[in-house]
Structure 1
Amino acid sequence: MNKTQEFSSRWGLILASLGMAVGAGNLWRFPRLAGQYGGTFIVLWIFFLLIWSIPILLSEFSIGKKFKGGVVSSYAQAAGKKYTWLGFFIAVCTLGITFYYSVVTAWGLRYLFLATQNLVGTISINESLQSDPQFLQHFWSDISSENISTVILHIIALIVAGVVLYRGVQEGLEKANKILIPTLFGMLILIGLIAVNIGNGIHGLEYMYQIDTSLFKNPTVWIEAVTQSAWSTGAGWGLMLTISSYSRKNEDVSLNIFISGFGNNTASLIAGMAIIPSVFALASSDQEALAFLQSGNFALTFTIIPKLFNQFPGGDFLSVFFFLAFFFAAFSSLLTMIEMFIKMLDDLGFDRKKATVIVIGICMVMGLPSAYSLDFFANQDWVWGLGLIISGMAIAFAVHRYGISLFKKEFIDVDSEVKLNSTFFRFTIYLIIPLGFTLLWWWMSQGYSKYPWFDEEGNWNVFDVYSNATILTQWVIVFGLGIILNNLLYKKFVHKKEAEKVIN
């Protein structure tokens, strides 16, 4: 492998791992869910970090480090030729998220522009709220659906990502994360400290960690907890597998994963401590704050933060800092998602620069529906966010195929100074697959659409945003395509790569 396609140091690799894990999900998705379900969600979310995300991330990292390929190539070598289609599903699932994740980055840019306009006096958020108390909600509704400026910013975000990644791993991805990640953590800590000390902010902190035991009976909370853990840490995405394919030969697997996993959860908690107390600080009563949080408002981050920061002197500056942090978080994760796609084309023999241009072009086109329609965005988030459970199960299956104890000994422990207990690792890998199936069955049995399978006329309800039918249809298409093309995928991604190794 060309030396330039490796991280220069452990610090570079750790920052890339944190850049992948700490994203918009920490500032946008986690506060919404923690606000909706309180401490019950947080308990389950930490539980799934330990028994789901950490074991999967350890497995992903070690597979990428061992085989030095992209998702399809490395997975096929770990699980065996006839299961290449599972690696294909992991790749498509993450690409499905990538195609709309650039839209989240675009939202961050649009709110950064709003905060900047407020700072320089072009727009006054305070005056706008006085004339229209729903100004921020209307602003969100405007930019999130059928808005050309969002489409343009989606394209700009991808172009900037392409320019960064065009330069390679060390000069592009690594250097970007050395700036993005430390700056992001610093801004999050500052915002959290301010929010907790405003008005009734402390009540929000108390609510955030309050446990309602009745919610443990709600399958939605369990599913949201495991998908948030998978979403936020990157477990099952194939992203950690991609990052580790650029690691140095003797890189410590366990230490990198522990820092990445717990660092990500720390960032999420800080973000929650900034946003949830903000709701209590702004609400006229605790009851109003609870009603708002428990509604699961999709735009919680976008409608609360600008309003909060305009309540005190200097808040206009902090609002700019927050949305700059949001953009940094989303952009750092977007970089890794696009890098995964580039690495797959590299496995097929494409020159990196050519691969970067191709990937950016595909992401622009495939992301257009989500940039234009919030319903399409929500559908893709629903389908592929839940699909991460299957991706995590697929990683665990590859470990089963190799032999759990042997895999840990030869893949994980060989270069690890800090080692996870072998009994605990075996337990979690055995648990992941039946647990995943149970959660999926539990989730779908609830029917989160009015017509989960068939509409009122008896037709397969595939076009419903949140139906089980739309989830299953899109999954089956990807599974079917992967199974049909299994041998071809193995030939293209594995045989071609092995032939190149022989030549080199």
Structure 2
Amino acid sequence: MEREKFSSRLGFILISAGCAIGLGNVWRFPYIVGKYGGAAFVLIYLAFLLVLGLPIVVMEFSVGRASKKSAALSFDVLEPKGSKWHLTKYIAMAGNYMLMMFYTTVAGWMVLYFLKMLKGDFTGLDAEATAREFDNMLANPAVMTFFMVIIVLICFAICAQGLVAGVERITKGMMLLLFVLLLVLAVHSVFLEGGAPGLEFYLKPDFGKMREAGLGEAVFAAMGQSFFTLSIGIGALAIFGSYIGREKRLTGEAISIALLDTMVAFMSGLIIFPACFAYEIEPASGPSLIFITLPNVFNHMAGGRLWGALFFIFMAFAALSTVIAVFQNIISFATDLTGCSVKKAVFWNIIAIILLSMPCVLGFNVWSGFQPLGPGTTIQDLEDFILSNNLLPIGSVLYLLFCTSRYGWGFKNFLKEANEGDGLPFPAWARVYVSYILPLIVLFIFIEGYLG
């Protein structure tokens, strides 16, 4: 059976960006930028994105394109005879399933909040009542299960249509809408009366604030964010490499994706900070920013119901684009490993993902007594820790070693694949850096994740 290909380069870039653009861009990035000195931090973050994240993205794409397989078989195809690199597939597959074990639930929250905004559920509520709305949702497993199942069914239905007719067509439209919504929301927020101090807080480089927070801590935060933002190390991007032709070199494509990812994260800050400062509401980090702080901000705003609904549909698109991309991966695992049809892979994975998503849903209510990482933590925190602090860094080191070691696929093969076509080449002089220095940096991030 001939492997499907993207119908356009734009489709490939938008879908890969959609996989990388997720909720971390919105609920983590703006907050840590504000905390660590605004624009000064962004510059350090961008530098790390180029030197840390980018080479691994190029490697994932190269492994995908050279093997024409998902992570379930790409190492089997490319590894030297008799070696054990194919065992890496278990980390990649575990990573994709682990991500979906909590991401489907959070994507469901976005859709629910879009509907609540549209209905005007938050109109007239004070900050405490807004927080209670969020707590009530978490306490209700039936509502959360319903929306999680809706997300799973919609995204698998899109993937079942095939790569071009389903995934590419829908994601392209969704991502273009996401960028339009982002622009509209950012322009609106920037011109809010009283929003200027928020812009200054966010954009003005403040090395003093960086020193205050601790330069080492700021640098590590930039390093961590640049590494995690692209979802590297679990083959989530490698799959899209397997669907593209050889017309373009892969470094330029990886840069386009990293820039889109950064643009969304950066513009999210332009939406959040002026609005929070205009209404004197403290910007927080994590879920409370999205589900407590911002509904509170929209309450104060003229036409807040409309702006709130637009914001949550933007968030839903950011979440759904990631879910669709990872589901496409999961379906490819099944078809690559068993040779089954896409429809059969979809059917069995719908059941699997719904069952695997239930611990996250129940962790906020029925099983809330189980606090795996200490008081106040949930099953979702544990799942995120296993993925972010373990599977992503370990998988990334394995991709690095596979593409640079003579016992793996080797640097010469990687370079040839990455530099096939037109565009920006991957520099041959970076060999020592990606072979010896970058794996150590990623291991450092891995160890620091445990120490922290």
TM-score, normalization by structure 2: 0.88
Match of 2:237 in 1: 240
- Check conservation: 2:404, 2:431, Cα contact below 8 A: no
User: SS state of the match for residue 123, structure 2?
Assistant: helix
Greater mean deviation of Cα atoms: 143-152 or 340-349: 143-152
- Check conservation: 1:52, 1:428, Cα contact below 8 A: no
Is residue 2:420 matched to residue 1:414? Answer: yes
Match of 1:338 among 322, 327, 350: 327
* TM-superposed deviation, 1:224: 4.3
Return the letter of the residue paired with 1:320.
Answer: A
User: SS state of the match for residue 28, structure 2?
Assistant: helix
Match of 1:13 in 2: 12
* TM-superposed deviation, 1:145: 4.5
Match of 1:398 in 2: 402
* TM-superposed deviation, 1:164: 0.6
User: SS state of the match for residue 248, structure 1?
Assistant: coil
Match of 1:276 among 273, 297, 301: 273
Taking a change above 3 Å as real, the CA distance of residues 429 and 300 of structure 1, as seen in their structure-2 partners, is farther
Taking a change above 3 Å as real, the CA distance of residues 63 and 279 of structure 1, as seen in their structure-2 partners, is same
Taking a change above 3 Å as real, the CA distance of residues 409 and 183 of structure 1, as seen in their structure-2 partners, is same
* CA offsets 1:288-334 (integer angstroms, 9 cap, x no match): x3xx54xx454112223222233333332121111111111100110
Is residue 2:373 matched to residue 1:376? Answer: no
Match of 1:175 in 2: 169
Aligned pairs for 1:93-242 (under 5 A) are 93-118=95-120, 123=121, 125-129=122-126, 133-209=127-203, 210-211=206-207, 212-219=210-217, 221-222=218-219, 224-242=221-239
Is residue 2:26 matched to residue 1:27? Answer: yes
Taking a change above 3 Å as real, the CA distance of residues 370 and 227 of structure 1, as seen in their structure-2 partners, is farther
User: SS state of the match for residue 310, structure 1?
Assistant: helix
- Check conservation: 1:76, 1:84, Cα contact below 8 A: yes
Aligned pairs for 1:432-451 (under 5 A) are 432-446=438-452
User: SS state of the match for residue 246, structure 1?
Assistant: coil
Whole-angstrom CA distance in 2 between matches of 1:227 and 1:362: 31
* CA offsets 1:219-243 (integer angstroms, 9 cap, x no match): 5x55543443333223223111011
- Check conservation: 2:53, 2:232, Cα contact below 8 A: yes
Match of 1:313 in 2: 302
* CA offsets 1:41-82 (integer angstroms, 9 cap, x no match): 534432321111110000100110110111131134345431
User: SS state of the match for residue 257, structure 1?
Assistant: helix
Whole-angstrom CA distance in 1 between matches of 2:145 and 2:67: 38
* CA offsets 1:189-210 (integer angstroms, 9 cap, x no match): 1111222222442222222243
Is residue 2:51 matched to residue 1:51? Answer: yes
Whole-angstrom CA distance in 1 between matches of 2:61 and 2:193: 44
* TM-superposed deviation, 1:185: 0.7
User: SS state of the match for residue 232, structure 2?
Assistant: coil
Whole-angstrom CA distance in 2 between matches of 1:357 and 1:41: 45
- Check conservation: 1:55, 1:425, Cα contact below 8 A: no
User: SS state of the match for residue 69, structure 1?
Assistant: coil
Whole-angstrom CA distance in 1 between matches of 2:188 and 2:259: 23
* CA offsets 1:430-478 (integer angstroms, 9 cap, x no match): 32211122233334234xxxxxxxxxxxxxxxxxxxxxxxxxxxxxxxx
Taking a change above 3 Å as real, the CA distance of residues 99 and 181 of structure 1, as seen in their structure-2 partners, is same
User: SS state of the match for residue 277, structure 1?
Assistant: helix
Is residue 2:75 matched to residue 1:86? Answer: no
Whole-angstrom CA distance in 2 between matches of 1:159 and 1:428: 40
Taking a change above 3 Å as real, the CA distance of residues 232 and 266 of structure 1, as seen in their structure-2 partners, is same
Q: Which has the higher helix share?
A: 1
Aligned pair count reads 428
Taking a change above 3 Å as real, the CA distance of residues 436 and 305 of structure 1, as seen in their structure-2 partners, is same
User: SS state of the match for residue 128, structure 1?
Assistant: coil
* CA offsets 1:371-390 (integer angstroms, 9 cap, x no match): 22241112211221122122
User: SS state of the match for residue 283, structure 1?
Assistant: coil
Whole-angstrom CA distance in 1 between matches of 2:44 and 2:389: 16
User: SS state of the match for residue 229, structure 1?
Assistant: helix
Return the letter of the residue paired with 2:355.
Answer: V
Aligned pairs for 1:456-467 (under 5 A) are none
Unaligned 5+ segments in structure 2 are 365-377
Identity of matched residues, %? 21
- Check conservation: 1:145, 1:373, Cα contact below 8 A: no
Unaligned 5+ segments in structure 1 are 447-504
Return the letter of the residue paired with 1:274.
Answer: I
* TM-superposed deviation, 1:13: 1.1
Whole-angstrom CA distance in 2 between matches of 1:435 and 1:398: 16
* TM-superposed deviation, 1:280: 1.6
Return the letter of the residue paired with 1:352.
Answer: V
Whole-angstrom CA distance in 1 between matches of 2:137 and 2:32: 22
Taking a change above 3 Å as real, the CA distance of residues 317 and 440 of structure 1, as seen in their structure-2 partners, is same
Is residue 2:389 matched to residue 1:386? Answer: yes
- Check conservation: 1:345, 1:355, Cα contact below 8 A: yes
Whole-angstrom CA distance in 2 between matches of 1:266 and 1:101: 22
Greater mean deviation of Cα atoms: 368-377 or 321-330: 368-377
